[in-house]
Amino acid sequence: MDETVEAALARLGLRATTLLEPDRWLAVALDGAGHQVELQAMDADVQDDALVARVARLRGLRHDHLVRLLDATELTPGRIGLLVEHVEGLSLAQIRAARAPLTDGEAATVTIPVAGALGALHDAALSHGAVDATTILVRPDGRPVLCDLRGVVVGGSAPRDDLVALASAVVAQLPGDDVHLLAGGLVLRDALAEALGHPSIDAAGLAQACVRAAEPEPVQLPDAGALASLALLSSARHAPPVATRRSSRRRFPTGLVALGCVAVLALGTVGWRLHSVPASSPVTDAQDPVHAAVELSRLRAAAVGAGDEAGLGAVEVADSPARTADSTLLVSIDPARAHGLVADVQDAWLVADDGSRGSTTDVAVTSAMSSATGVGAPRTVVLGLRWTDDGWRVWDVKDPAG
């Protein structure tokens, strides 16, 4: 990882554990308490009095649907890091990638409280400046929260810009713009458009428009199977892979991904299938589950990228949670999105066994997914492996925090 970030976190008694996206890290306290925070890095000048004033106002702001700014630190001249409350949840973009469009009631549940958070910012002479489907998280309890504070610190946007961005982000999660014509009557899409048509609209007015248009209802989060598939295909943030940290764990050269790309492209031209694993594969070494997890990650991505149901048999245990999730994924995913999918594995390590997983061996794997449509930021998942007559196979896929 960036040495300046590593050093800054160490000064604050923190250690980076996961790169969430470019310039955004999850860090844990070194005191052993397990407290987690996020570091959001950005280009900024600490000599800018207006910026310092925005940071001060933001630090004093509290709202249930806006992450808290805990502190700010200079990383290098011209670059600062914001220490931000870490919130577990899925972004609207992740939710939409794993399930059907939101209903009007679900969209109202997102829009109303987020508008309230924007209103609190606006009352403090601040604006968010980065509202979109990736910066609105929905917690496991269904509460939405704005998670990225860098746009607030930068400044420069207007309150109305925030409201337009919020409405656009929510409308993009609804069914196509002609579907509502079948039902008739006032729907959320129309209500948001009408509200934004008023030049003096504010956050409270936007929230009221939602209240009048739709009865809020809980946001249905994707089930575990859909989330396992989402973890594999998480490439929504289009940025080059970045090494996550120094450690004694297994590190894997990114040059191998080029060979992987060639192999995946070959699938489409000669119809090759991943029915078997060579005898010399790391997958068949009972003493090396870490290297097996790396190989299985690559094989799994290639099978999904090729739409190869049979190929999953060389990767996953039959009738396992992982196999069920990926079989469902192959039916539902847009082939153009998955075409040429490659896993660029950068780090892998054995997860400590607490005795609760029985015959399952857990290995954490950090990788970036790339396909014909883009390259994703690195993401860490935990592969639950089981030893079979054919070697290591994936039983389930979990989030490290889960």
For every residue of 74-112, DSSP letters joined together read: EEETTEEEEEEE----EEHHHHHHHSPPPPHHHHHHHHH
Contact status, residue 396 vs residue 320, Cβ threshold 8 Å: yes
User: Is the pLDDT assigned to residue 240 strictly greater than 50?
Assistant: no
Question: pLDDT band at 106, cuts 50/70/90?
Answer: very high
Q: Which one, of 281, 294, 284, lies nearest residue 251 by Cα?
A: 294
Question: Domain 90-213 belongs to what topology?
Answer: Transferase(Phosphotransferase); domain 1 (1.10.510)
Query: Rounded to an integer, what distance in angstroms lies between the CA atom of residue 272 and that of residue 94?
Result: 31
Q: DSSP code of 378?
A: P
Mean pLDDT is lowest, of 83-97, 110-124, 376-390, for 376-390
pLDDT of residue 259: 24
For 344, how many CA atoms within 13 A lie in the half-sphere containing its CB? 23
The residue whose two tokens read 């048509």 is 197
Q: At what angle do helices 203-213 and 159-171 cross, to 10 degrees?
A: 30
Give me the pLDDT at residue 274, please: 28
Cβ atoms within 10 Å, residue 7:
12
Range of lowest pLDDT (13-17, 50-54, 168-172, 366-370): 366-370
Q: Which of 228, 369, 225, 373 is nearest to 302 (CA)?
A: 369
Q: Give the DSSP H/E element, type plus range, for residue 382.
A: strand 379-388
Question: What average pLDDT does this structure show over 381-394?
Answer: 93
pLDDT in tens, 327-348: 888 877 766 666 667 777 878 8
CB burial string 305-317: b at 16+ within 10 A, e below: bbbbeebbbbbbb
Neighbours of 253 (CB within 10 A): 9
Domain ranges within the chain, ordered by starting residue: 3-85, 90-213, 224-398
pLDDT at 371 over 80: no
**Does the pLDDT at position 115 exceed 90?**
yes
Q: What is the mean pLDDT of residues 383-401?
A: 90
Write the class of the CATH domain 224-398.
Answer: alpha beta
The owner of tokens 């002609």 is 178
What is the average pLDDT score of the chain? 79
Q: How confident is the model at residue 369 (pLDDT cuts 50, 70, 90)?
A: confident
Percent of the chain at pLDDT exceeding 90: 39
Per the DSSP assignment, residues forming a β-bridge with 19 are 25
Show the tokens assigned to 135: 């910066």
Q: Which of residues 264 and 121 earns the better pLDDT score? A: 121
Average pLDDT over residues 384-392: 93
- Check residues 273 and 250 and name the one with the higher pLDDT: 250
What's the sign of the alpha-carbon dihedral 351, 354, 356, 359? Answer: positive
Between 177 and 236, name the one with better pLDDT. Answer: 177
113 and 141 Cβ atoms separated by less than 8 Å:
no
CA quadruple 189, 190, 196, 200: dihedral sign: negative
Running DSSP on this structure, what letter comes out for residue 285?
-
CB proximity list for 319: less than 8 A, separation 6 or greater: none
pLDDT of 199-229, one tens digit each? 999 999 999 999 999 989 889 887 655 555 5
pLDDT value of position 239: 34
* pLDDT the model gives residue 373: 52
Give the pair of three-digit tokens for residue 49. 């009095």
Contacts (Cβ under 8 Å, ≥6 apart) of 56: none
Q: Across residues 158-181, what is the average pLDDT?
A: 83
Q: Which CATH architecture has domain 3-85?
A: 2-Layer Sandwich (3.30)
Identify whether the C-beta of residue 99 lies closer than 8 Å to the C-beta of residue 120.
no
Terminal C-alpha separation, the chain: 24
Phi, psi of 111 (to 5 degrees): -70, -45
- CA dist 184 and 162 (Å) reads 29
pLDDT for res 385: 95
133 secondary structure, DSSP code: T
